[in-house]
Amino acid sequence: MALLPPSFVAALVSGLLVLWYVYSTLNAYLALRHFKGPWSSGFSRLWLLRANLGGRMNHEFRAVNDKYGKTARVGPQTLLTTDVALIKRMNGTRSDYRRSVWYNALRLHPTRDNITSHRDEQVHSRLRAQMTQGYSGKDVPDLEKDIDRCIEDFFALINRTYVSSEAEYVPFDLARLATFFSLDVISTVAFGKSFGFLDLNDDPFGYLPQLQTLLPAIIFFGVYPEIQKIMRLSWMQALLPKATDVNGVGRVMGFAKDVVAERFGEEKVVRRDMLGSFLKNGLTQDQLESETLTQVAAGSDSTATVIRMAIFLIASNPSVYNKVLEELDVAEAAGKLTRPVIRDSESRLLPYFQACVRETLRCYPPVTGQLAKQSPANGDHFNGMYIPPNTQIAWNSWGLMRTKEIFGDDVDVFRPERWLASGGHTPEELAHMEETVWMAFGWGRFGCLGRPVAQMEINKTIPELLMEYNFQIADPSNPFSVKCVGFFIHTDMFFRVSKRIRRESRTAT
């Protein structure tokens, strides 16, 4: 029997591949055809990639749900939702939904998963149990004192370098310096050793420029996870960050590797910090290296976003600015605020300030996507719609926080008063608003473990900045630059900062 010509075999294989592609594409399209979305999303991930990498991911996602409904199609097998009930259904303790392949992109260490990237439910649950004590502060008695020291270092830097006088303007870039502060906080509370950003007033690791490359890469791999599998091949490892790198994420990996190594051996360091808690609760040396890197990357950027945006939103609204300062001044005059740094417990008792925090989280949720979950193997029926098996469902935090049915018609207005009893909402509506806004930290079994630390940092740092300094936006017509790629990359957020005359000083004069 004569062999088939190579050209015929090649044509046959090519034809079969085309047929397979057409069949699989059509099958995926038909499976979710009852969900509306951008016209190309039924057969291509290119719309989702463009939305993710265009720098306006938050606005693109909101526009989709505003146009096509609470749950819309954004890819062949991907939905995007602002439906609170569906988000709770996916993240509930007993839910059959699981983390989707999207989470593979959150594996920051080139060879090891972390608590955010593990998709095995048993592994993830075990890690949460082992790490909860550290993140909650129960195993870290000096957690608040460590944050106090970082706040004092932050103010020392501002006072020696960035205070403007009536005759001289010194540009103060809150975008950059809030990141310096949050990085020093997370390194101090996590493993008892500050990176030193504030002391140096510089980026000793070259970390920030590389972060602006890393975040879009994570989003890209989230859309095309199959490409990340290629990057994990041994011959591709040379292209990834390494602990031996002299700068960037690799340098941070090296720092983490060194501080973890100090906790092992005959002359091991013993500290009651988060790293010590994780070690006490059974994490291995390899696990600790991966988790500390995740703490730095995820824990610092999101908190810095809330701090910088709270200051910006308050300072750019004179009536809000005056009200929050009045509340702080009255509390300080009444001896209700610890000096020199307010306590977390005291900050939580300031109703208007806490309204400002909630409104900042609503207007600017620091994580915008996609956190996609995967539907059960047998599919799901929700709200009269069938969700096929293994469908990815991402949640749209920016759009969720602008849901008029929950927050009122003025969702694009920064109005802290909406959170007060006098703000026009019933107690039941306020309770629903509260539950929704705290979804900025995730929900249920996938909620952010770092929320207690982040809230403490926010509750202490923002009021202290407002009490100590006057903030004037340097260029109201162009206050900052921003790109949204899952996280927010803020740059050039310049203020004129001057020392504030405190209430007790005004009374004394």
H and E: helices and strands count for the chain: 21, 12
User: How far apart are alpha carbons 403 and 408 in whole angstroms?
Assistant: 8
Give the total residue count for the chain.
509
Both tokens of 289, joined, read 């290296």
Q: Are 181 and 146 in contact (CB under 8 A)?
A: no
Number of Cβ atoms within 10 Å of the Cβ of 493: 23
Q: Are 72 and 65 in contact (CB under 8 A)?
A: yes
Both tokens of 174, joined, read 């809150």
> What string of DSSP letters covers 198-240?
HHHTS-TT-HHHHHHHHHHHHHHHHH-HHHHHHHTSGGGGGGS
Q: Tell me if 484 is assigned to a ligand binding site.
A: no
- 375-382: Cβ within 8 A, 24+ apart: 375/97, 376/96, 376/97, 376/98, 380/96, 380/97, 382/85, 382/86, 382/89
Q: Are 440 and 366 in contact (CB under 8 A)?
A: yes
Number of Cβ atoms within 10 Å of the Cβ of 212: 13
Helix or strand or coil: residue 53? helix
| DSSP percent split of the chain into helix, strand, coil, nearest 5 | 55, 10, 35
Q: Are 41 and 25 in contact (CB under 8 A)?
A: no
Binding-site entries for heme: 448
Which residues are annotated as part of the binding site?
448
